[in-house]
Amino acid sequence: MTGCRTEEARALRWDHVDLDGNPDASPPVPPHVAVWRSVRAHGEVKTEKSRRTLQLPQSAITVLRSHKARQSEERLKAGPLWKDHGLVFASTVGTPLDAHNVRRTFRQIIKDAGIEGNWSPRELRHTFVSLMSEGGVPVEEIARLAGHSNTRTTETIYRRELRPVISTGAVVMDRIFGKAPS
What is the tally of structural domains in the chain? 1
Instruction: Put the strands of the sheet holding 32-35 in their side by side order.
Output: 17-18, 32-35, 52-55, 161-166
Q: What number of CA atoms fall less than 13 Å from residue 23's CA on the CB side?
A: 4
pLDDT for 99 beyond 50: yes
Higher pLDDT, 93 or 37: 93
Residue of 16, 40, 46, 159 marked active site: 46
Would you say 38 and 44 are in contact if contact means Cβ atoms under 8 Å apart? yes
In a domain, 105, yes or no: yes
Q: What is the pLDDT of residues 143-180, one digit of tens each?
A: 999 998 888 888 888 763 323 567 888 989 999 998 76
Is 83 a known active-site residue?
Answer: no
Summarised one tens digit per residue, pLDDT across range 21-75 is 999 999 999 999 999 888 887 778 787 778 899 999 999 999 999 999 999 999 9
The single-letter DSSP state of residue 83 is: -
Residue 166 lies in a domain: yes
* 5 has catalytic annotation: yes
Per the annotation, the verdict on 160 as an active-site residue is no
In a domain, 40, yes or no: yes
Q: Has 126 been annotated as catalytic?
A: no
Catalytic residue (one of 10, 32, 52, 158): 158
Residue 137 has a CB neighbour count (10 Å cut-off) of 18
Query: β-strands 52-55, 32-35: how paired?
Result: antiparallel
Look at the alpha carbons of 138, 53, 56, 46 in this order and tell me if their dihedral is positive or negative: positive
* Domain region containing 132: 6-177
Residue 51 lies in a domain: yes
- Told to judge if 148 belongs to the known catalytic residues of this protein, a careful annotator would answer yes
The answer as to whether 1 is a domain residue is no
Is 182 inside any structural domain? Answer: no
User: Looking at the domain assignment, is residue 74 inside a domain?
Assistant: yes
More confident residue, 97 or 38: 97
In this predicted structure, the answer to whether residue 140 has a pLDDT above a threshold of 50 is yes
Q: What is the CATH number of the domain that holds 127?
A: 1.10.443.10
d(CA 159, CA 130): 6
pLDDT for the residue numbered 162: 26
Evaluate whether residue 141 is within a structural domain. Answer: yes
User: Cα dihedral angle (172, 175, 179, 182), rounded to 10 degrees?
Assistant: 70
Q: From the candidates 10, 32, 37, 148, give the one annotated as an active-site residue.
A: 148
The residue annotated as part of the active site, out of 10, 125, 144, 160, is: 125
